[in-house]
Structure 1
């Protein structure tokens, strides 16, 4: 679920236009209509407002924080750091460094100290725990620094977008003064990014990284042209960042269930596995941010004499593609939910993961699938899994496959023998998957379940899994 947290804080800024940030926060929130909205009333102090923001932040789903001054980012970034730890990188799109300390700030305005505060050096009642390390920060569009800020950045080695770790999870902050020519901000600076350049930069980040959260701040409405520009820019940034997590899950799922033939072409990830009936093994996935070519898609599968099948995923971000395929006669099949959960949540809800064997020897997998499912049709795929994988089995009563990559573990092939259903077998297997995942350094699980599989969904709901996104298939013979 997408949640917009509106924080009309202006007290962290000393700009003459700061009171307009209240209206600016409301306008930014209104530009994101398809979301749950939460408005946080400001308190008597910045610390009181921060505490209110902390309590208002949802536990799951994608969160967009709109300000208000840049200080509203204190709790959203701190929450992301608590969740992702060393894997989190903060990307700071801002004309200013916001890295003064209370000892160096010329003005004493908190919005000029927020990024330093997040590193543990700020007003004592606002310093979060844990704090960011300098190597977890990337500056973008920064062009106006106080001497003390420039010295601090030089001493700590804080860099730009090229310094972001390959496997990092990102929180993206956008102070609108990063844009060139915008006047509806407290401290406009020449020479910034165009709206198109900002969109392109964030699209590139979202294609390569999971975005944990997005903050948009410092809008002080004064120019109708700025308002018109933002009405296009803000929803697009939210769309790109909100789609990043589903795409990163789907990218991992592609690796966890590898097709024999896999290639990127004309906006598609094209998959083909001869003698395999599963749709996932013989379908095309639209690439993130691309405009996929329908003729190229149809030519690929026509050459292989199999039905043209598209995994429309996530459904929420490919509505135009879905409509186009429908108009071309593609029928809809297999509405599916992708659900996620933290390993700690699953273990707390499952209570017991005993009696489950971890089978690393893949030579044993066919016999276990035969015993539980009555067939072992997917061995060709499973033998190609390059990531760390384990089969979790309870005698011949149930099994599940766990595959881990970059902090996530996918759970596949959940099955219980018909004679042993409703006896807690599946719950124990999922608990064992969570335990194994934690041991691999992966704190999050994902799985797919068809929308109409009510018993399975009830099980997953009870273990703390929540909806990430949806997909379905479109097929034409």
Structure 2
């Protein structure tokens, strides 16, 4: 069975991690929720969230926890303590081979590392700035970016990395004026082709529950739900 927490940590790593009691505390360095949230690695007592919250504040971060779909008791504990839910997220996956049956259109997608300035511009337009690009640089395993073009113009980009035979796509972004032309579909397939060449057998990605368009696309491509998680963050008016 795939250890999805390990795949996420390896393909989208925090700047640093430390153990504190039952928690893994992450230093996010401005890279967003996924690299900043604390996670439980052992049973949690009612006093433990406050200790984790203090450690996160010491790092200059808001107290934030990632809750996996099997952690109902922890979820209730944090809810009772005033932590509100944020960004329910679906883990989707399928065999790599399911995405590599169709040939890619010529001059549509190119593997590039490090990313080009045009890719960085597309990511910046979508809110993916230097702190998230630094996450890509930190990945130690097989990794690349895909650069998409439409009408011979820069149009899209994504990042993909592999851990233990599982590829995970991150940061798919299509430039605003090139959307609804099918590029996201082809970039996803191109990422799977690259992953297959690296020996990966499973292809996966993360998508928020609220992103109906992306969920419809990925479901149509055959990426099925294999897990869920969400965040809980402390309301600012509470201690």
Q: TM-score, normalised by structure 1?
A: 0.45
Aligned position for 1:368: 119
Aligned position for 1:12: none
More strand by share: 2
Q: Secondary structure at the match of 2:92?
A: strand
Aligned position for 1:411: 169
Q: Any residues of structure 2 matched to 1:334-349 within 5 Å, and which?
A: 334-348=87-101
Matched, 1:326 2:85: no
Aligned position for 2:210: 452
More helix by share: 1
- Distance in 2 of aligned mates of 1:353 and 1:453: 27
Pick closer, same or farther for the CA change 1:353–1:469 going to 2, 3 Å.
farther
Which of structures 1 and 2 has the bigger CA Rg?
1
Work out whether residues 136 and 159 of structure 2, in 8 Å CA contact, stay in contact via their aligned partners in 1: no
Matched, 1:430 2:188: yes
Aligned position for 1:305: 60
Aligned-residue CA RMSD in angstroms?
1.7
Q: Secondary structure at the match of 2:147?
A: strand
Q: 2:40 aligns with which of 286, 292, 304?
A: 286
Aligned position for 2:4: 249
1:75-122 per-residue CA deviation (whole Å, 9 max, x = no partner) reads: xxxxxxxxxxxxxxxxxxxxxxxxxxxxxxxxxxxxxxxxxxxxxxxx
Aligned position for 1:296: 51
Pick closer, same or farther for the CA change 1:260–1:352 going to 2, 3 Å.
same
Pick closer, same or farther for the CA change 1:373–1:459 going to 2, 3 Å.
farther
Length, aligned pairs only: 224
Work out whether residues 332 and 474 of structure 1, in 8 Å CA contact, stay in contact via their aligned partners in 2: yes
Q: 1:267 aligns with which of 15, 19, 22?
A: 22
- Distance in 1 of aligned mates of 2:105 and 2:227: 27
- Residue 380 of structure 1, CA deviation: 1.9
- Distance in 1 of aligned mates of 2:66 and 2:21: 16
Q: Secondary structure at the match of 1:422?
A: coil
1:395-429 per-residue CA deviation (whole Å, 9 max, x = no partner) reads: 32111111011110000001111111111101111
Matched, 1:359 2:112: yes
Q: Secondary structure at the match of 2:13?
A: coil
Pick closer, same or farther for the CA change 1:409–1:448 going to 2, 3 Å.
same
Q: Any residues of structure 2 matched to 1:130-145 within 5 Å, and which?
A: none
1:345-373 per-residue CA deviation (whole Å, 9 max, x = no partner) reads: 1223x55354211002x2x3454121354
Work out whether residues 268 and 297 of structure 1, in 8 Å CA contact, stay in contact via their aligned partners in 2: yes
Unaligned runs of 5+ in 1: 1-209, 211-244
Q: Any residues of structure 2 matched to 1:177-192 within 5 Å, and which?
A: none
- Residue 447 of structure 1, CA deviation: 0.4
1:259-308 per-residue CA deviation (whole Å, 9 max, x = no partner) reads: 1121233222211123x151112111222xx1133233122112223210
- Distance in 2 of aligned mates of 1:258 and 1:420: 30
Most deviating of 329-338 and 391-400 = 391-400
Higher relative contact order (CA 8 A, sep 6+): 2
- Distance in 1 of aligned mates of 2:50 and 2:190: 45
- Distance in 2 of aligned mates of 1:333 and 1:310: 10
- Residue 252 of structure 1, CA deviation: 1.5
- Distance in 1 of aligned mates of 2:31 and 2:138: 17
- Residue 385 of structure 1, CA deviation: 1.2
Unaligned runs of 5+ in 2: none
- Distance in 1 of aligned mates of 2:230 and 2:133: 24
- Distance in 2 of aligned mates of 1:258 and 1:443: 21
Q: Secondary structure at the match of 2:167?
A: strand
Work out whether residues 365 and 391 of structure 1, in 8 Å CA contact, stay in contact via their aligned partners in 2: no
1:202-247 per-residue CA deviation (whole Å, 9 max, x = no partner) reads: xxxxxxxx3xxxxxxxxxxxxxxxxxxxxxxxxxxxxxxxxxx3xx
